[in-house]
Structure 1
Amino acid sequence: MNVPMRDEAMDAAYALGWTIVRKMPEPAARAAFTALADRTWHRYGSGVRQLEKNLCRVLDKKAVDDEVRVLSKKVLRSYFRYWLEVFRLPEYGRDRILGDMRVSGHEPMLATLESGRGVILALPHMGNYEHAGAWLVHMGHPFTTVAERLKPESLFDRFVAFRESLGMEVLAHRGASAYGRMAQRLRSGRPVCLVVDRDLSASGIDVEFFGATARMPAVSAALAIQTGAALYPVTLWYEGRYWGARVHEEVPVPGEGARQEKIQAMTQEVARVFEQGITAHPEDWHMLQKVWVDDLAEDGR
């Protein structure tokens, strides 16, 4: 079967990113990606419009105004910085990955891993979670994660190869086998990292998020309940040239209630922590897709 031209172009663009962009002088690459971000913002496509709709929720606004427009431009620049750093991350040495990370609250999480208990790190699409993953690997804790299947298959393979080169185990998103393997890793005392502020399945949990109902994956809470692993939400941002991260307090499994009630309560707590992190650093929340139920209903979901 022939690969559609659009898919071929997408794969070629990412291939160039991991070859040419990663070898460019860093100041030139950053200037180019900032210009691409501004161009994308000016085009005002569907992704930017959805981003601004999401930011209206975060800022408690009824409609897009100048403040939202200014913020959305900052988000696009942050988002394109993320992609630039994805392409260049294989060039970063251990000293830079560890030395330029400004992380707090991580001591309990590391102590949990050292004790032999598994850890689930639940993250939103904030800052640079690829770099955060590389930081965790260099701290001596290789982890397992999942990746959304991309088209064409060769593009998905590139992302898997990239993440595996950093020391991550990558599972395809769909299928019970991925869940089972994550449970195995957790029971053996390893970490699992999951980006969970947008539901990609049909089994998401409805939670209150910035005053409205949003849908988020149930997988992090379900794994914690099933395996006994500790669930830690993490929020991420940029601090100038540095990478910022906070590992929040463990979300405990409720002592009472049915399994589904426990999943609901834990997922709601993760959403509450994400609210805090996004409120503090809205310019680094890269959400150009729909997460609120009212928006998803427009697509019949």
Structure 2
Amino acid sequence: MSDALYGLGWATVKKLPEPVATRLGRTIADTVWKRRGKGVLRLEANLARVVPDATPQRLAELSKAGMRSYLRYWMESFRLPTWSRQRIKDGLDVKDLHYLTEGLAAGKGVVLALPHMGNYDHAGAWVTTTLDTPFTTVAERLKPETLYDRFVAYREGLGMEVLPHTGGAAFGILARRLRAGGLVCLVADRDLSSTGVEVKFFGETTRMPAGPAMLAQHTGALLLPVTLWYDSSSTMRGRVHPPVDVPETGTRAEKTSVMTQALADAFATGIADHPEDWHMLQRLWLADLEHVEERSA
């Protein structure tokens, strides 16, 4: 059913005029928000960490705006394959892009690490179109397999090389791309596996992927945090944050910890400025997971 629904979205929404798709996304978002399901309540609980002094009314306003932003991501993603090159270029304005262009020009490879903000698929298409730079990313193995295949085909159609996020093969391929001076883009604000690195995020502990920091250490590539947010009905903004340097001292694990914390701090800066565009509808902080385990026991 999931595969069929996503297939229907890509088949029908992309044919709608943009204003119609925009209204449809907002209507769906508002309907879902009013039902106060698990995803909406989790988003609100997450936003309470980001904006700790928010009143219940303010949190409700943020979660409503957050659902609209999240559905905007999906409406745009369904329509993205039909956008012209000019529409892709005009739809994103990036601050401090020089960090990325100078890093690519240096020829040592660049790792871009992003949280679940804005529309990273649009940002990826913007990179391949505006900078004429292909890049490699990874995708979670979704179930059913046909749904995963849809996402891979969709992103490959935008100019991305997509690797499955399973086993250790992906890391080796990413490292080779970077050593050749290439670009790697990774969504990196949630990793609840045993290999995730514990960081402080808005004052509480969570885990984030070790991959971006480890790739930078192994290959000498530049590690750049990026945050995205919506500015208007037709424009998305982005910021390339200053590079995360590899510490000069410490073990590999200690360096990875320091670098991943620096990523978390950059993400937190962007999310605090635009909390409604952070699409985190899942449990993130370890304290929330511990509560679930206690209830299960």
- TM-score where L is the length of structure 2: 0.96
* Partner Cα separation in structure 2 for residue 300 and residue 244 of structure 1: 39
For residue 269 of structure 1, give the secondary structure of its aligned residue in structure 2: helix
- Select which of 126, 132, 146 maps to 1:135: 126
Deviations 1:220-274 (A, max 9, x none): 0011111111000000001102011000110000001111010000000000011
What is the alpha-carbon distance in structure 2 between the residues aligned to residue 51 and residue 25 of structure 1? 30
Residue deviations 1:100-144 (CA, integer Å, cap 9, x gap) = 211011112112112211100000000010000001111111000
Q: TM-score, normalised by structure 1?
A: 0.94
C-alpha distance in structure 1 between counterparts of 2:293 and 2:128, whole Å:
40
8 Å contact kept, 2:192–2:207: no
Tell me which amino acid in the other structure corresponds to 2:244. V
Q: How well do the aligned residues superpose, as a CA RMSD in angstroms?
A: 1.3
* Corresponding position of 1:41: 33
Partner of 1:4: none
Moved more, 220-229 or 108-117: 108-117
| 2:74 maps to 1:75 | no
Residue equivalent to 2:270: 277
Q: Which amino acid in 2 is paired with 1:262?
A: K
1:246 aligns with 2:229: no
Unpaired runs of 5+ residues, structure 1, are 1-8
Matches for 1:138-217 after TM superposition, within 5 Å: 138=129, 139-217=131-209
Superposed structure 1 runs of 4+ greater than 4 Å apart:
none
SS where residue 170 of structure 1 aligns?
Answer: strand
CA distance in 1, matches of 2:276, 2:82: 26
What are the Cα deviations for residues 16-53 of structure 1, in whole angstroms up to 9, with x where unaligned?
11111000111111111111001111111111111111
Shift of 1:180: 0.8
Matches within 5 A, 1:114-125: 114-125=105-116
What is the rounded CA distance, in whole Å, between the counterparts of 2:135 and 2:66 in structure 1? 28
The secondary structure found in structure 2 opposite 1:283 is helix
Asked if 2 retains the 8 angstrom alpha-carbon contact of 1:30 and 1:84, the reply is yes
Deviates more, 1:274-283 or 1:194-203: 194-203
Deviating more after overlay: 268-277 vs 98-107: 98-107
Q: Does the 8 Å CA contact 1:213/1:292 hold for their aligned counterparts?
A: yes
Tell me what 2:98 maps to. 107
CA distance in 1, matches of 2:146, 2:291: 31
Using the TM superposition, give the Cα deviation of residue 200 of structure 1 relative to its aligned residue in structure 2, in angstroms. Answer: 4.8
Deviation at 1:202, TM superposition (A): 2.0
| SS at 1:298 equivalent | helix
Instruction: Please state if 1:292 is matched with 2:257.
Output: no
- Structure 2 stretches lacking a partner, 5+ long: none
CA separation in 2, counterparts of 1:171 and 1:64? 42
CA distance in 2: counterparts of 1:74 and 1:115, whole angstroms: 40
The residue type equivalent to 2:264 in the other structure is A
- C-alpha separation in 1, matches of 2:52 and 2:206: 15
Report how many aligned residue pairs link the two structures: 292
Alignment-mate amino acid for residue 214 of structure 1: T
Distance in 1 (alpha carbons) for counterparts of 2:72 and 2:169? 33
